[in-house]
Structure 1
Amino acid sequence: MDGSFYHPFPTVTRSVERDKIVTAREAVRLIRRGDTVATSGFVGIGFAEEIAIALEELFFDTRESDDGPRDLTLVYAGGQGDGNSKGLNHLAQEGLVRRVIGGHWGLVPGLQRMAIQGQIEAYNLPQGVISQLFRDIAAHRPAHLSTIGIGTFVDPRHGGGKLNSRTTEDLVSLTSVGEIECLLYKTFPIDVAIVRGTTADASGNITMEKEALTLEALSIAMAARNSGGIVIAQVERIADANSLNPRQVKIPGILVDCVVVANPENHWQTFAQPYSAAFASEFRVGASSIKAIELNERKIIARRAAFELMANSVVNLGIGMPEGLASVANEEHVLDLFTMTTEPGVIGGIPAGGLNFGAASNTQAIIDQPYQFDFYDGGGLDIAFLGLAQADREGNLNVSKFGPKLAGAGGFINISQSAKKVVFVGTFSAGGLHVVAADGQLNIVHNGNCQKFVDAVEHRTFSGKHATERGQHVLYITERCVFALRPQGLELVEIAPGVDVQKDIIAHMQFAPLISGKLKLMDERIFRDTPMGLRSILLGMRLADRFSLDAEKNLFFINFEGHDVATSEDVHAIREEVERRLGSLATKTHAVVNYDNFSLRPEVLDEYSAMVVTLADRFYSGVTRYTTSGFLRMKLGDALKGRQVAPYIYESSETPKEPAHSAASGVVL
């Protein structure tokens, strides 16, 4: 790249053999010195490992003759590596790569080291921006226009995404549209695209039926094709010409120059798993597949964060600490109340963690990554849960660079800047932290050695000032306290039961947070190793508010609409509430029960039915109950009938009331 804003895009493609099926070695021989190479992948999903290995080997075999791939510019959106030797770590060789433009650096320690030591030119741009940039390159647009990155280290006023002194060319410039500040991300030709799929035919058409994600493979292929470059695709099998279902073809053969059939060991679905039929959406799995986590600081944070969930919302969970929220949501039986998403293109389902991150089970849809970021950037996320590595008095956050450690922003900037509400989750300190939760309180046994709430963050991945200007709702949740972003900076708003504000919080911060009024205590249920009853909380009604006694008419109203009975504790709580309300009455009362959208889990059906019989015998002279759910009428009715209780449940509250039944003739709570 010569630094000019506009640039010519070649219109003549390179000459390759007509037979598109070649070996990995033959494919990488087409990569020339100084080429710009774009790779698709997310952690290990969709990454062409076989081709990366071949490129590394070719470099070593030809570096003495200086007649092979050298001085490459590498461009990628999502992090592509295992944190050790796989993925783009194969390309972390001095002389092979000259410049790297990456969205996330945390999984490629080899490239990290080269960037920190100044061996290469290095940029960190938002993951979503890079994925969208490929489409702009394909369309020959001179730049990508976006508000994403304003106020962060990507903003030219704060470094322009450059990671070392060797990196001098400006890829990002500041502009405005009307009165709106924007960033221009310069486009450039792509010489080589390296993508991956499942099946290819002889014409180079690529399907992705076994892939966990589709990512930006199509956009990268188009960018290279329209830049006059070549497209190399790795697959696991070859089909006959014209035998593929055209609706399953994700990359048309007109874009593909070379097809490489990988060895099975270099074509795992993720870097942690050779193949999961659930990740490929071949079937759905039970919620029990999500492992529960012990009551430690990670779970405490996830539990407090879960109180910020909203029914019928669209949610993003980041990698690391936010992953615990999926486990808590599963334990609390609330996964069905909202739609979880992840940035590489997952809509709905259960997100995976670790080196499987990006994959998901039981999804509603898998879309291309650039379109997911279109949705995110436009405000499609109701709430995002992201990691908290370092925060300062102004509410700025750093998750991207710490001294010699370069993590990169990934999709963090897009997500945190665009979600209607963002919740940062992380421990209060790092390095040796030890806490114990018991009996509804938190005991801090040992504080971490590294302070995370500092006077000024080292690298600004999130701008508190920009967030407050846009009126964004921002929380910072730790195991011992909760902060909220205000125009004046961070305000301490909640503390854990058992925690001393001065000794356990302020004494371990580099600045004094704002405090206004009496601090709220974090819900003590968070610190008990029992279910929190989150479903009822999210549905907006406390259990106690569901019961009402009209003494004059001798009627007891129970509103179970939207209520979920999932555990023995739920059954016990209902029994206690009825006993509290009716235990002191001299006479029995008639009950009217709304069972609309009521949920009764199979594992507690018998226990619930037994409770109904007991309460009916003690407290009720009769009952009217109704629900629009034929399934519930049948399920609960059968259970009561098995206990010699008449199974009358009406379809609506307008149904004429039956004569009052005695407990002996059968009533139901």
Structure 2
Amino acid sequence: MSDTVSGEHPQAQREAAGFAAHNPSKVVADAAAAVADIPAGARVAVGGFGLCGIPSVLIDALLAQGADGLKVVSNNCGVDGTGLGLLLEGGRIDRITASYVGENKEFARQYLSGELTVELTPQGTLAERLRAGGAGVGAFFTPSGVGTPIQHGGLPWRHDADGNVVEESPAKESRVFDGREMVLEEGIVSDFALVRASVVDTRGNCRFHAAARNFNPEAAMSGRITIVEAEKVVEAGEIAPDDIHLPGIFVDRVVALTPEQAADKNIEKRTTRPEEA
């Protein structure tokens, strides 16, 4: 089975709880308080692409909190020594649904040595699975992956210590729409979502900056409880309606970063040209 949670979708749960009618400040004391109730084995969606737009402060707080056996959904798993790479190195992640292994050598090592279950998913499909889960869409058809192991199954999800495949992806249902074959992909609902935004108001409305938006809105939508670390927090109403990229209905907790935390942004790979004389 894929890494999918059934049940009522996050937005409906929040509306049923009365958030739409009564929505006080969602700002919490700090990152440690925000992640304190994430339990062992929780499914956690994490925004970011590489090191761009990652919720690094919340990840550090989750590492210090100690929850293990986590089932992470993210585009990738950070890099060695940074971001989700820290949770990997600490042995806190049991399963990850991601688009690629990327530059993380520890990610590849754990996958090949049987320490980690990895469900590789096409990047656009992963984004839509997160968005669909948050919107209450149980599944959707897409042409991505038709004719490959994505459709027919057999992708290695987990190995044993000797490198033998002990869990693999199942075959997926397919149908033809307007003469084009498509495969069925399930929406993803996560227990918690960790994201980062540029400007957030006290009601949780978010604005992202440029490419740092990436997977953050979709990850936020998928979470039953969504936690946002904000580079800047403003009062409700200070973000113009047309500038809101993620409505506060999808956000449960806001962590205000210090100026130092907001400015701490790593570069995954730096390429420069020789300085001219």
Preserved contact between residue 80 and residue 107 of structure 1 (Cα < 8 Å):
no
Cα deviations by residue, 1:304-362 (Å, 9 ceiling, x for unpaired): xxxxxxxxxxxxxxxxxxxxxxxxxxxxxxxxxxxxxxxxxxxxxxxxxx359xxxxxx
Measured in 2, the distance between the counterparts of 1:249 and 1:45 equals 20
Is 1:148 matched up with 2:144? Answer: yes
Q: Kindly tell me: are residues 177 and 263 of structure 1, through their superposed partners in 2, closer, same or farther at Cα, counting changes over 3 Å? A: same
**CA drift at 1:199:** 1.5
**CA drift at 1:103:** 0.6
Preserved contact between residue 41 and residue 70 of structure 2 (Cα < 8 Å):
yes
The one-letter amino acid of 2:182's match is C
Cα deviations by residue, 1:71-93 (Å, 9 ceiling, x for unpaired): 2210112x352x32112102204
Is 1:108 matched up with 2:104? Answer: yes
Measured in 2, the distance between the counterparts of 1:167 and 1:58 equals 30
Cα deviations by residue, 1:88-142 (Å, 9 ceiling, x for unpaired): 1022046522211111211333332221111121111111110111122123223
Measured in 2, the distance between the counterparts of 1:31 and 1:54 equals 11
Give the aligned partner of residue 252 of structure 2.
257
Preserved contact between residue 197 and residue 233 of structure 1 (Cα < 8 Å):
yes
Please list, as runs of the form range in 1=range in 2, the aligned pairs for 1:183-194 lying within 5 A after superposition. 183-194=183-194
Q: Kindly tell me: are residues 126 and 230 of structure 1, through their superposed partners in 2, closer, same or farther at Cα, counting changes over 3 Å? A: same
The one-letter amino acid of 2:43's match is T
Measured in 2, the distance between the counterparts of 1:18 and 1:6 equals 29
Preserved contact between residue 198 and residue 211 of structure 1 (Cα < 8 Å):
no
The one-letter amino acid of 2:243's match is Q
Measured in 2, the distance between the counterparts of 1:236 and 1:6 equals 31
Preserved contact between residue 44 and residue 269 of structure 1 (Cα < 8 Å):
no
**CA drift at 1:163:** 5.2
Give the aligned partner of residue 204 of structure 2.
204
Is 1:244 matched up with 2:239? Answer: yes
Task: Indicate the percent of aligned positions where both proteins have the same amino acid.
Answer: 24
Measured in 2, the distance between the counterparts of 1:151 and 1:265 equals 48
Cα deviations by residue, 1:563-621 (Å, 9 ceiling, x for unpaired): xxxxxxxxxxxxxxxxxxxxxxxxxxxxxxxxxxxxxxxxxxxxxxxxxxxxxxxxxxx
Preserved contact between residue 88 and residue 107 of structure 2 (Cα < 8 Å):
yes
**CA drift at 1:251:** 1.6
Give the aligned partner of residue 113 of structure 2.
117
Preserved contact between residue 205 and residue 252 of structure 1 (Cα < 8 Å):
yes
Please list, as runs of the form range in 1=range in 2, the aligned pairs for 1:31-70 lying within 5 A after superposition. 31-59=38-66, 69-70=67-68
Tell me the secondary structure at the aligned position of residue 111 of structure 1: helix
Preserved contact between residue 201 and residue 241 of structure 1 (Cα < 8 Å):
yes
Give the aligned partner of residue 32 of structure 2.
25
The one-letter amino acid of 1:198's match is S
Give the aligned partner of residue 221 of structure 1.
220
Calculate the TM-score normalised by the size of structure 2.
0.80
Give the aligned partner of residue 231 of structure 1.
226
The one-letter amino acid of 2:73's match is V
Q: Kindly tell me: are residues 265 and 103 of structure 1, through their superposed partners in 2, closer, same or farther at Cα, counting changes over 3 Å? A: farther
Measured in 1, the distance between the counterparts of 2:102 and 2:87 equals 15
User: CA RMSD, aligned part only?
Assistant: 3.1
Calculate the TM-score normalised by the size of structure 1.
0.35
Measured in 1, the distance between the counterparts of 2:100 and 2:225 equals 25
Q: Which has the larger radius of gyration?
A: 1
Measured in 2, the distance between the counterparts of 1:112 and 1:121 equals 11
Measured in 2, the distance between the counterparts of 1:105 and 1:31 equals 25
The one-letter amino acid of 1:35's match is A
Measured in 2, the distance between the counterparts of 1:27 and 1:190 equals 16
Please list, as runs of the form range in 1=range in 2, the aligned pairs for 1:341-360 lying within 5 A after superposition. 354=269
Task: Give the number of the structure with larger relative contact order, counting CA–CA contacts within 8 Å between residues 6 or more apart.
Answer: 2
Question: Where do 5+ consecutive residues of structure 2 fail to align?
Answer: 160-164, 272-277
**CA drift at 1:37:** 0.8
The one-letter amino acid of 2:150's match is V
Cα deviations by residue, 1:369-413 (Å, 9 ceiling, x for unpaired): xxxxxxxxxxxxxxxxxxxxxxxxxxxxxxxxxxxxxxxxxxxxx
**CA drift at 1:196:** 1.0
Give the aligned partner of residue 85 of structure 1.
81
Question: Where do 5+ consecutive residues of structure 1 fail to align?
Answer: 60-68, 274-353, 357-669
Give the aligned partner of residue 274 of structure 2.
none
Preserved contact between residue 40 and residue 70 of structure 2 (Cα < 8 Å):
yes
Measured in 2, the distance between the counterparts of 1:256 and 1:154 equals 32
Give the aligned partner of residue 8 of structure 2.
9
Q: Give the counterpart of 1:271 among 246, 250, 266.
A: 266
The one-letter amino acid of 1:52's match is I
Cα deviations by residue, 1:16-47 (Å, 9 ceiling, x for unpaired): 99542221101111312322111111122111
Number of aligned residues: 257
**CA drift at 1:150:** 2.4
**Greater displacement, 262-271 / 22-31:** 262-271
The one-letter amino acid of 1:175's match is S
Measured in 2, the distance between the counterparts of 1:143 and 1:88 equals 27
Measured in 2, the distance between the counterparts of 1:264 and 1:166 equals 47
Measured in 2, the distance between the counterparts of 1:355 and 1:184 equals 39
Give the aligned partner of residue 71 of structure 1.
69
The one-letter amino acid of 2:49's match is F
Tell me the secondary structure at the aligned position of residue 154 of structure 1: helix
Q: Kindly tell me: are residues 96 and 238 of structure 1, through their superposed partners in 2, closer, same or farther at Cα, counting changes over 3 Å? A: same
Preserved contact between residue 271 and residue 355 of structure 1 (Cα < 8 Å):
no
Tell me the secondary structure at the aligned position of residue 190 of structure 2: coil
Q: Kindly tell me: are residues 6 and 233 of structure 1, through their superposed partners in 2, closer, same or farther at Cα, counting changes over 3 Å? A: closer
Preserved contact between residue 206 and residue 251 of structure 1 (Cα < 8 Å):
yes
Q: Kindly tell me: are residues 260 and 269 of structure 1, through their superposed partners in 2, closer, same or farther at Cα, counting changes over 3 Å? A: same
Tell me the secondary structure at the aligned position of residue 115 of structure 1: helix
Tell me the secondary structure at the aligned position of residue 52 of structure 1: helix
Preserved contact between residue 132 and residue 188 of structure 2 (Cα < 8 Å):
no
